[in-house]
Amino acid sequence: MGLAMAGEPVTPQEWSQCLSAVATHQDRAAFARLFEYFAPRVKTFMRRSGADDAAAEELAQETLLMVWRKAAQFDPATAGAGAWIFTIARNLRVDALRRERGVSARAGDIDAEFLIDGAPTPDAVLAGQQADARVRAALKELSAEQKRVIELSFYQERAHGDIAAVLGIPLGTVKSRLRLAMSKLRILLDDLS
Amino acid sequence: MSIQHHPSEELLTAFAAGTLDRGQHIAAATHLGHCPACRGWVKSVENVGGAVLAELPPAPMAPDALSRIAPRLAEAPHQSASRRDGDSLPDVPGLPAFVRALPAEPWVWVAPSLHVRRIELGGTSPTRVFLLKSGPGTKLLPHTHTGFELTCVLTGSFTHDNRRYAVGDFDMGTPEDEHEIEIGTDEACISLVAMQGTLRLKGVFGRLLQPLISF
Ligand SMILES: [Zn+2]
């Protein structure tokens, strides 16, 4: 508590350290720091995905609760901390959407659906923190608009429509810009490897 | 043998973002199980997701948000590990484990040398998922469909518009295509298909068969 909680952990290294502390000795101060940083951002992610304020808040809490419970599964050698937390939020969002549509899912179902068996990818996948750094470097090369459009690809179609309306451009334009931005990103990521 | 035909970057991005409908998700996951290159791209998109998430503007949480979940931190995690997933498709290779655990109907004959086996998604997914088994050398009737059709080869091979699709290859059919497909002569071809809309067969014979394939 106290000083340790004073600042938000802002670098991927700090997030990884906090996750390790949670995994190895259920460090609540480290968890509190992750919560302070990520819960409000996961909430924004859920809001932009179409959840109302109360649902977004609950999904953010559930996401961080899963971070606490699954911290031991986090492997800094294969995933960046931000990416790992993103996949937890993503899976909870898929689960929430499915329940909304009346499809019952058992605990762990969605996680299983994203678990792809198969040998690890060859040189394409970098160790977690390295990958984080490379992706951040690639994103810096994109224009603000391209970054915005890439952010859109993480939301459902209906949210695309909403944001197309906000930006005042047709949905088709959002999609073609997204395609361009993703191709550019792919080239950048390949160059950096 | 290496994979020649991959899903589009868009489809893989949507997979990693978690925005595909369940049927499309199953088709993409089946290819990913065969394809290290596409798994690499999905990983990259997840890393981008992490970077995007970390840079989002924060939305204020309730002041007691953290203290409200504090009591739950002491709970032991729910163990769902004891559940045993069945394998409803032990005779079909190359499917992800979660697809095997879904209930599947038995093979149904639809035409000479052609069988289908429906996989139950148990919901209101707009996409139907089924396995298609065709005998070696079968020529499928020319057909079009009203929605997209995603196909991943599990055994054998087929040729579509002079392109050969073998195990792991992914074919993205769009409504505009007219599909004329010929199965490789070496062995039976089993594919996983995720389809939206309906299939339309061409010609008089096709119209006769239509009721049989509208399963
Ligand atoms: Zn591939």
Tally of structural domains, chain A: 2
Is it the case that residue B204 has pLDDT exceeding 60?
no
Q: B28, B214, B20, B211: which is closest to B125 by C-alpha?
A: B20
My answer on whether A70 and A160 are in the same domain is no
Residue A2: the pLDDT is 36
> Count of alpha carbons within 13 Å of B128, Cβ hemisphere only?
18
The complex's ipTM?
0.88
Number of domains forming the structure of chain B: 1
Position A130 in a domain: no
pLDDT band of residue A6 (cuts 50, 70, 90) is very low
What would the pLDDT profile of B145-155 be if each residue is shown by its tens digit? Answer: 677 889 999 99
Question: Is residue A134 included in any domain, yes or no?
Answer: no
Residue B15 domain flag: yes
Q: How far apart are CA A71 and CA A69, in angstroms?
A: 6
Other C-beta atoms lying within 10 Å of the C-beta of residue A135: 28
How far is residue B15's CA from residue B42's CA, in Å, rounded to a whole number? 8
**In-domain check, residue B84:** no
Same domain flag for A20 and A93: yes
d(CA B57, CA B59): 7
Mutate to test the interface with B, among A84, A114, A180 (most CBs of B within 10 A): A114
What torsion do the CA atoms of A79, A82, A83, A86 make, to the nearest 10 degrees?
Answer: 140
CA distance B24 to chain A (A): 12
Per-residue pLDDT tens over the stretch A69-96: 999 999 888 788 999 999 999 999 999 9
Q: Indicate yes or no: CB of A101 within 8 angstroms of CB of B124.
A: yes
Residue B102 inside a domain? The answer is: yes
DSSP states along A165-182: HHHTS-HHHHHHHHHHHH
Could you list the residue range(s) of the whole structural domain that residue B146 is in? 1-55+92-215
Q: CATH number of the domain that A165 lies in?
A: 1.10.10
Residue B86 lies in a domain: no
A61 in the same domain as A27: yes
User: Measured between beta carbons, which residues in chain B are less than 8 angstroms from residue A156?
Assistant: 19
Q: Is the residue at A5 inside a domain?
A: no
Report the residue from A40, A103, A178 with minimal CB separation from B60.
A40
Q: What's the gap in Å between B172 CA and the centre of ligand 1?
A: 12
How many angstroms separate the Cα of B57 from the Cα of each of A41, A43, A47, A187, B53? 6, 10, 11, 27, 9
CATH number at residue B16: 2.60.120.10
Which residue range forms the structural domain that includes residue A187?
Answer: 141-193
| E strand or H helix that includes residue A103 | none
A108 and A145 co-located in one domain:
no
Q: Other CB atoms closer than 10 Å to residue B209's CB: what's the count?
A: 18
Asked, for residue A1, whether it belongs to a domain, the answer is no
Q: Do A103 and A158 lie in a common domain?
A: no
> Does residue A15 sit within a domain?
yes
Paired with B129 in beta bridges are B119, B194
**Contact, A130 vs A184, CB < 8 A?**
no
- A59 lies in some domain: yes
Please tell me whether residues A87 and A161 are part of one structural domain: no
Q: Which are the contacts of A41, defined by CB distance < 8 A and separation ≥ 6?
A: B53, B54, B56, B57, B58, B59
| B18–A117 C-beta distance less than 8 A | no
The answer as to whether B79 is a domain residue is: no
- How does pLDDT run across B105-158, given as a tens digit for each residue? 999 988 888 899 999 987 767 788 999 999 998 887 677 767 788 999 999 999
User: Are A103 and A192 in the same domain?
Assistant: no
Strands B127-134 and B170-173: unpaired
| Residue A88 located in a structural domain | yes
pLDDT of residue A168: 80
Dihedral pair phi/psi, residue B129, rounded to 5°: -120, 130
Contacts 24+ apart (CB under 8 A), B209-212: B209/B110, B209/B111, B209/B141, B212/B110, B212/B111
User: In angstroms, what is the span from residue B96 Cα to ligand 1's centroid?
Assistant: 15
Handedness of CA B183, B189, B190, B191 (dihedral sign): negative
CA distances for A139 relative to A9, A134, A145, B45, B101, angstroms = 21, 9, 11, 12, 38
The answer on pLDDT for A149 being more than 60 is yes
In a domain, A83, yes or no: yes
User: What is the token pair recorded at B64?
Assistant: 């007691």
Question: B172: alpha, beta or left, given left = phi > 0 and alpha = psi -120 to 50?
Answer: beta
Answer yes or no: do A84 and A160 share one domain. Answer: no
B215, B171 Cβ separation under 8 angstroms: no
Q: Is the pLDDT of residue A183 over 70?
A: yes
Query: Which chain A positions have a beta carbon within 8 Å of B60's beta carbon?
Result: 40
* pLDDT of amino acid B149: 87
Task: Convert the pLDDT of each residue in B1-39 to its tens digit.
Answer: 589 999 998 899 999 999 998 999 999 999 999 999 999
List the single residue in A83, A101, A117 with the smallest CB-CB distance to B49.
A83
Compute the distance between CA of residue A143 and CA of residue B209 in angstroms, rounded to an integer: 53
CATH code at position A57: 1.10.1740.10
Q: How far is B61 from chain A (nearest CA, A)?
A: 6
